Structure 1
Amino acid sequence: MFVIVTYDIVEGNHLNKTRKVLKKYLTWTQNSVFEGEISESKLHKCMAEIENIIDKKMDSIYVYEIKNSKNIEKKLYGVHKSFDDMFL
């Protein structure tokens, strides 16, 4: 399945830890957005790791699951950012 994960995390150590976990499973496309193809079991594992990091009273994670990735049309307006290149 294809997923889009967005987050709103209070600045701090758990922000970097959350981003590091998401980078293991998905592609970082915007400041608070990751996306990509992932199996259901890997998504479950990823979210279990994140739940151990975030502050559930202050942080939020949204996961949008698209079961049929053939129905996705992605358009970019403006500059394509490659976060992997920025932080190497």
Structure 2
Amino acid sequence: MYVVVVYDIGELRVARMLKLCRKYLNWIQNSVFEGEITEVKLKEMLSKAREIMDLDYDSIIIFKSREHKWLDKQIVGVARSQIDNFL
């Protein structure tokens, strides 16, 4: 499946969450990641994220799609990270 993950994490925990998400997905902008991931890997990532998060304060939003081609993405301004040129 293809996902876009957006998080809002407290300042003291944000670096750990960034490092975790980079292990599973492609960074595209501050606190925003996207990429292909299996359901098992997504559950694994969320389990580890819960260990970092303060569930009374922090949040993660996940947008799911079956495939990247079903997502219409438009970038206005500077793209922070390009993933189209990987071999």
Shared fold (TM-score greater than 0.5)? yes
**Distance in 2 of aligned mates of 1:51 and 1:78:** 33
C-alpha deviation, 1:68, in angstroms: 3.4
CA distance in 2, matches of 1:50, 1:43: 10
- Residue 4 of structure 1 corresponds to 4
Overall identity of the aligned pairs, in %: 41
How many residues get paired? 82
**Aligned twin of 2:23:** 24
For the aligned residue pairs, the C-alpha RMSD in angstroms reads 1.4
Post-superposition shift, 1:42?
Answer: 0.6
Cα distance, 1:6 vs structure 2: 0.5
Unaligned runs of 5+ in 1: 84-88
Q: CA deviation at 1:69?
A: 2.8
Matches within 5 A, 1:30-41: 30-41=29-40
TM-score (normalised: structure 2): 0.86
TM-score by length of 1: 0.85
Q: Distance in 2 between matches of 1:10 and 1:56?
A: 11
What are structure 2's unaligned runs of at least 5 residues?
83-87
What is the 5 A alignment of 1:58-73?
58-73=57-72
| Per-residue Cα deviation, 1:19-39 (whole angstroms, up to 9, x for no partner) | 111000001111110111101
